[in-house]
Amino acid sequence: MTKLTLKGKLTTCLILCCLFLMSSCRKDTLLPTKASNSITIAEARNYFEGHFKELGNASGDKTTTIQNSASHKETYQRIMSGKKALWDKAYQKMISVGGAVRIPLDFGKVRVMVDKKTGASMDLSSLNYLLMYKDSLHQIHAEWVYLQPKLDWLNGNRDTYNGRATVRDWDGNVLKDFSYGTAVNTSQGNHVNSTNGTTTNSGTEYTVWNCVRVANGWCQATGWCASAGRSCDFCLEYCAYEICIEDTFNPPPPAGGNGSSNNGNGYGPSNHGASGGGTSPGDYNPDNCTNGPEVINPDGSMSPPPCIPPPFYPPPPTQNPPSGPLTNTQFVIQALGITELDKINFISNPTSGLNDAFAQYLLREKNAYSIDFGKWLFDYLYANPSVDYHSFLDPNEFDSIESSNLTPTTADPVVDMTGITDVPLNAILGPPRSIASTPNRNNTEDLQYGTNGNTSGILPLQLGKNDNLLFSDMTDLFELLSVGDLQTVAGQFITRFRNGTGGTFENQTLNENVKESATYKNFISRFRRDLQAKINNAGGVLDNKEMDLDYRPIFNGISNKLNGLQILINDTEQTQIKLLNFQIDAATQMWIADVDVVITDHFGLDKNDAMVYQGSHRGFAAWWVLQHTRGYKPFITQIVVRTRLYGGL
């Protein structure tokens, strides 16, 4: 038997060491040594089970908290407290403070609507995880992270995260809130911009809110969803209702931290609230499952991290009510969940027409909000039988505004633009004098505001919300009904309303959009014809008598509804036409008139409009509540369009 020399022993030892190092180097690139604050899955689980209590959820083996029942609406708190840590799917990865463990969370059959216009939704579970790590003092942290990615990130390149991450302790108290991608200033608190494009909310108390949707049991055998062959999970527009939560908190500094009694910045083995901290915003990003580093699974194997699935886009909803023997009355009873005999008799009255009005309203709107609104309105009308239901349920110009297929097929027609052009830049203009005007509608209620408005007939759901949630609903309405540069103008309108500036507001972008609209072109074309007739009747002169116009510009119609002019202006208060220059060429017998068309409107909402439109979108009721019960001040909008009119004698 050959004996190894000392040199051979050293060589063999060196080879074995190299092989050992090579076999472990991949994990070493992912996890540091114990001295570098790594935490194992087993250590994290033991700590978690010793410190936290799980209530369980619908898909777990503990107490069920998600119920698919029309008679039982879950609260956001119950849904969130029902989360369950999935330890069999936990994995180890590196973050800025060392080795950490991410544990997926399960919320049962709860989905999040990520795009209201298309109805795209995702499982709430896919956007939540528990992050456990040790800080520099070896204190263990357990942080629940809720991701809210932007739609373009979900559908596109995921190399750079674009969205939000809200960090809570296990009990749901908000600790930190990050915005990734392009920083957007909001009123939710101070923002500290970092070099990686992340916005950190810190230092000042503010509110964050989130919404989820839960199946409410409307998928019955004769319901729309079942008749279309779809389950509730794929029929959220009909079969789910929205639950929202708000959290007000004082976020800690973005790094370091002072700890808290609720695991805010770390639990030590025998000391809650130790001040280790030190994570960075990038630690909470979704893992890059295509180009990112591999992670270590519970069995020790290595693999890419799990991917967040893309959103689900439901097929177009059923356009007709259930076929068969279901009458309008039966359909309304089923849709609104009416069970009491007296209420069934009330909706079944054949002479009132209420059953048909409700059925037509639900068929027009076809969304989750219409069900909530319908249930409230039915109870309101049942308790107040003398109230006329037509103002609530009759068709109006904002019907079906949340429909994803609401698009203009053709532009609104323009009658005639003969004799109308732009005023040359070198035109000599004199002082303005009014030559025509529409009657002043004197709708003073639009400009009234205060804290004691009569709330009868206004959706109670909105009355109980705080100002932030109401402005969120109002903003959602305006964003839904505006595009492009007018969506920016809409944001300026809401900001002025929220700041209580009042006064008169003029915006050049709004002026230009009005000038290019079919509504304005048809109005000014009609006025030019009237002006031509007046000049002809006066023998080629323009006297000083003001023309009284019995028509005015009203910005309704499909194009105005979708581009933003209807929600920003709609009907107008008064229009004046002011003459800046008038000339007649004696040789050619041609005349020109340079005019400013000054359109005045009120950016405010009266009670009647709120009652009529609130069934189409909750933002209308929110707007009225803010103005008439929270004291936010409306203002006057002024649009000025300069135009040259011309003709011949």
d(CA 506, CA 600): 10
- pLDDT over 60 at 4, yes or no: no
pLDDT digit string (tens) for 33-65? 444 679 999 999 999 999 887 654 433 332 222
Please report the pLDDT score of residue 363 as a whole number: 81
Confidence of residue 467 (pLDDT cuts 50, 70, 90): very high
Higher pLDDT, 284 or 270: 284
* 194 CB-contact burial (10 Å; exposed 0-12 / middle 13-18 / buried 19+): middle
The rounded percent of the chain whose pLDDT value lies above 70 is 70
Confidence of residue 248 (pLDDT cuts 50, 70, 90): very low
Residue 282: both structure tokens together: 């990038």
The b/e string for 270-305 (b: 16+ C-beta within 10 A; e otherwise) is eeebbbbbbbbbebbbbbeeeeeebbbbbeeeeeeb
Please report the pLDDT score of residue 67 as a whole number: 28
Confidence of residue 242 (pLDDT cuts 50, 70, 90): very low
Q: Which long-range contacts (CB under 8 A, 24 or more apart) does 554-559 make?
A: 554/519, 555/514, 555/517, 555/519, 556/397, 556/519, 557/412, 557/518, 557/519, 558/406, 558/408, 558/412, 559/408, 559/411, 559/412, 559/517, 559/518
Cβ neighbours of 357 (radius 10 Å): 19
Rounded mean pLDDT of 628-642?
97
For residue 341, the surrounding DSSP H or E stretch is helix 341-347
Please report the pLDDT score of residue 150 as a whole number: 85
- pLDDT over 80 at 26, yes or no: no
What are the boundaries of each domain within the chain?
Answer: 24-67+84-107+126-206+255-303, 328-393, 420-648
Rounded mean pLDDT of 457-474?
93
Closest alpha carbon to 121 in 110, 111, 108: 111
Rounded mean pLDDT of 182-200?
37
Closest alpha carbon to 368 in 550, 222, 276, 243: 243
Higher pLDDT, 433 or 26: 433
Average pLDDT, rounded, for the chain: 77
Q: Is 421 helix (H, G, I), strand (E, B) or coil?
A: strand
Residue 299, φ and ψ in degrees, nearest 5? -85, 5
Closest alpha carbon to 288 in 106, 113, 153: 153
Please report the pLDDT score of residue 230 as a whole number: 32
Residue 160, φ and ψ in degrees, nearest 5? -120, 120
Please report the pLDDT score of residue 400 as a whole number: 67
Weakest-pLDDT range from 48-52, 286-290, 314-318, 470-474: 314-318
- pLDDT over 90 at 445, yes or no: yes
Please report the pLDDT score of residue 206 as a whole number: 41
Closest alpha carbon to 202 in 162, 181, 173, 174: 174
Residue 241: both structure tokens together: 């209702």
Please report the pLDDT score of residue 7 as a whole number: 52
Confidence of residue 506 (pLDDT cuts 50, 70, 90): very high
pTM greater than the 0.75 cutoff: no
- Give helix 354-365 / helix 328-336 axis angle, nearest 10°: 60
d(CA 618, CA 465): 12
* 468 CB-contact burial (10 Å; exposed 0-12 / middle 13-18 / buried 19+): middle
Partners of 122 in beta bridges: 112
Rounded mean pLDDT of 221-243?
36
- pLDDT over 90 at 277, yes or no: no
d(CA 540, CA 189): 64
Higher pLDDT, 260 or 210: 210
Q: Is 633 helix (H, G, I), strand (E, B) or coil?
A: coil
pLDDT digit string (tens) for 544-602? 899 999 999 999 888 888 899 999 999 999 999 999 999 999 899 999 999 999 999 99
